[in-house]
Amino acid sequence: MCGIIGMISNRDVAEHLIEGLKKLEYRGYDSAGFGVLNDRGFVVSKEVGRVAVLEPRSSEAQDAKIGIAHTRWATHGQPTQINAHPHVSQNGRFMIVHNGIIENYSVLREYLSKHDFKFKSDTDSEVIAQLIAHEYKNNTMQAVREALSRLKGTFGLLILDREDPGSLVAVRQGSPLVIGIGDEEYFAASDISALVQHTRQVVYLNDGEIAELTLSGYRVSNFADVTVVNEPTEIDWEIEEIEKGGYEHFMLKEIFEQPQSLKQTMAGRIIPDEGSVKLGGITAIEEDTLRRLNRVIISSCGTSWHAGLIGEYVIEELARLNVEVEYASEFRYRNPVMGADDLVILISQSGETADTLAALREATSRGAHVMGVCNVVGSTIAREAGMGVYTHAGPEIGVASTKAFITQVAVLVMLGMDWGRLKGHLSNDQTCDLVEQFNAVPDLVRNVCDQSDTIQAIAGEYADCRNFLYLGRGVNFPVALEGALKLKEISYIHAEGYPAAEMKHGPIALIDENMPVVVIATQDPVYEKVISNIQEIRARQGRVIAVATEGDKEIRQHSDHVIYVPEVNPIFSPIVNVVPLQLLAYHIAVLRGCDIDKPRNLAKSVTVE
Ligand code: AGP
């Protein structure tokens, strides 16, 4: 999952391409490159490492009005300069950048080698440039379409023809691509964050579409050269939202934005005056379908899967609906029993995760109802699901998801409350009470964010640890999983989350004075059970960091460190309890000198299998 951007304009494009690429860097950052076309032909510059290394090179690319650029997350071929993009065809005429995977690249390489093509790189992408050159007779677009018809896999693709400096070609099949309509200039990029500084008018390409961008306009067509009309959409993000705003890292900024993000998620949906919940995007599923529903299946990946697990507890508790949670990557290849009495909820911050998108298509093909819970407006999962709820967390740039997670949980809580009332399991008074309590949660989260310094001090005592265990019970078991994932992702410390009672069935063997154990021990019906689990750890010299409810003095006797959070209804507690775990992971990773926003080997949106 790389980031690609292209631009055709009356102004020089090199610097703007590099600026745009920086905004896409969270998609992949092991090497980068750009290629422009000016009177002297193609000017290509590519390097291992971050986009910033390309900056000085933009001066070599003067008076180029058209160009493409790429930031890489390697799938085929090591992160080397030769494997970085752009790739140019052997005859020097066609240049491409590619996001995705060409599954049949080795067959195509072999075929092209038999036609005297020599390959410089180990990538799958280079075959695309060579194939266009191979197919070229006398018409570039025809050669492009011929080449596309031979590719298997996923591709977001930008193509330049040295002999046609007036046209930039963008192709989408399985990887996200959006067109930006500027003032006498046009852009194509993997997502809107690279475009907002130039334009708010965008056109989302669908799979199987090609856009030809020229200074006089653009044309979208399908692979069979039939014109397609895609209406432009207005972007509602502000530039500031995708800047750091004085924070050292996007992750810290996004942790502190959580109270505001929650308010945005609740706005117009939580109606305290009426004591009700209104979710406009899913009216289609309401009432009779809901009554007939046999099962809700939540399918997603990573942190979104953890949100799904919390959704299972909350929706079963509030709406008495049978809920199952599935890893999308497994769900898509299993032969799941599913049909018209099932609702499949796909949760995805980016709305572009390949496995979750495939799970959506699998559910649709089996006749199930589908709905999306996404953060990125206009993303593929959101558009293909047709109905759903946007989390409105605002742009999330840090690879480690934080504000998107708690807004996903907030949406699942609102679904539980809404469906509980609709199915008559919650009386109006109960819903009213829950809505009032829920409306107070953003301020409780603010309260926890303000403890960042205290948590930083605790982090100082654990930054050299090599392993961690995270324990929680009930609705806080998935929070333990999420806390462990945050630490793994950004500090590279091995960490595992477990249901607290499961510890006795194996993981307890790991516990000694070198094993810190983070335990979520807030006030709820299983509190006493959690205290016994803590004592089992202490009996083996384990070091305990407890997340506990303000005013809980007893827990101090059983813990090395306690992080207090405000009292909250247990059904809402994951939203509050995850914040100390986000901050603990953040501060430990900072103390270990890790790259917080761009952790090694990761990317923000996983658009390949
Ligand atoms: C979370 O911090 C990670 N970035 C990752 O696990 C992420 O949650 C997963 O890739 C799913 O992404 P999505 O929500 O955009 O589909």
What band does 237 get if pLDDT is binned at 50, 70 and 90?
A: low
350 Cβ below 6 A of ligand 1: yes
**What is the per-residue pLDDT for 498?**
98
**Residue partners of 608: CB distance under 8 A and separation at least 6:** 1, 75, 100, 101, 154, 175, 354
Predicted local distance difference test score (pLDDT) of residue 348: 97
Is the CB of residue 605 below 6 angstroms from any atom belonging to ligand 1? yes
Six token digits for residue 344: 């499949």
Q: Would you say residue 605 has pLDDT above 90?
A: no
Instruction: Give 150-176 pLDDT, tens digit per residue.
Output: 999 999 999 999 999 999 999 999 999
CA R_g for the chain = 25
Q: What is the distance in A from the centroid of ligand 1 to the CA of 527?
A: 30
Q: How confident is the model at residue 59 (pLDDT cuts 50, 70, 90)?
A: confident
Q: Band of the pLDDT at 573, cuts 50, 70, 90?
A: very high
Query: What distance in angstroms lies between residue 400's CA and the mean position of ligand 1's atoms?
Result: 8
Amino acid letter for position 446: R
pTM for this prediction: 0.86
* Per-residue confidence band for 290, with pLDDT thresholds at 50, 70 and 90: confident
Give me the phi and psi of 373, to 5 degrees please.
-125, 100
Q: Is the CB of 130 under 6 A from ligand 1?
A: no
Q: How far is the centre of ligand 1, averaged over its atoms, from the C-alpha of 493 (Å)?
A: 18
Nearest by Cα to 502 from 519, 490, 514, 489: 519
Q: Is the pLDDT of residue 581 over 90?
A: yes
Q: Kindly report which listed range (484-493, 565-574, 580-589, 598-607) carries the lowest average pLDDT score.
A: 598-607
Average pLDDT over residues 566-579: 98
- The mean predicted confidence, pLDDT, of the chain is 94
The verdict on the CB of residue 489 being under 6 Å from ligand 1 is yes
If one counts every other C-beta atom within 10 angstroms of the C-beta of residue 196, the result is 20
Residues 6+ apart with CB under 8 A from 582: 251, 255, 402, 483, 486
178: left (phi over 0), alpha (psi -120 to 50) or beta: beta
Determine whether 2 is an active site residue. yes
**What b/e string do you get for 386-421 counting C-beta neighbours within 10 Å, with b at 16 or more?**
eebbbbbbbbbbbbbbbbbbbbbbbbbbbbbbbbbb
> Which of 2, 432, 449, 594 is an active site residue?
2
Pocket test residue of 353, 487, 491 for ligand 1, highest count of atoms within 8 A of CB? 353
**pLDDT of 244 strictly over 90:** no
Residue range 413-423: mean pLDDT, rounded: 94
pLDDT exceeds 90 at position 1: no
Residue 286 confidence (pLDDT): 65
Q: Which of 190, 304, 381 to mutate to test the pocket of ligand 1 (most atoms within 8 A of CB)?
A: 304
**pLDDT value at residue 314:** 98
Pick the atom of ligand 1 nearest to 300's CA: 16
Best mutation site among 349, 403, 407 for ligand 1 pocket (most ligand atoms within 8 Å of CB): 349
- Segment 502-523 shows an average pLDDT of 96
The candidate with the shortest Cα–Cα distance to 531, out of 473, 459, 458, is 473
User: What is the distance between the alpha carbons of residues 85 and 19, in angstroms, rounded to a whole number?
Assistant: 17
DSSP state of 227: B
Q: Which of 22, 23, 403, 604 is catalytic?
A: 604
What is the per-residue pLDDT for 151?
96
Task: Please tell me if the CB atom of residue 38 comes closer than 6 angstroms to any atom of ligand 1.
Answer: no
Quick one: which atom of ligand 1 is closest to the CA of 356?
Answer: 16
Q: What are phi and psi of 586, to 5 degrees?
A: -60, -50
pLDDT of 214 reads: 97
Ligand 1 in reach of 590 Cβ (< 6 A): no
The pLDDT tens digits for 457-482 are 999 999 999 999 999 999 999 999 99
pLDDT category, 240, cuts 50, 70, 90?
low
**Closest ligand 1 atom number to CA of residue 606:** 10
Q: Is 303 in the pocket of ligand 1 (CB under 6 A)?
A: yes
Spacing, Cα 498 to ligand 1 middle (Å): 20
CA of 105 to the centre of ligand 1 (A): 28
**Strand ranges (E), 275-412:** 276-277, 295-300, 323-327, 342-348, 369-374, 388-390
Average pLDDT over residues 292-317: 96
Known catalytic residue: 604? yes
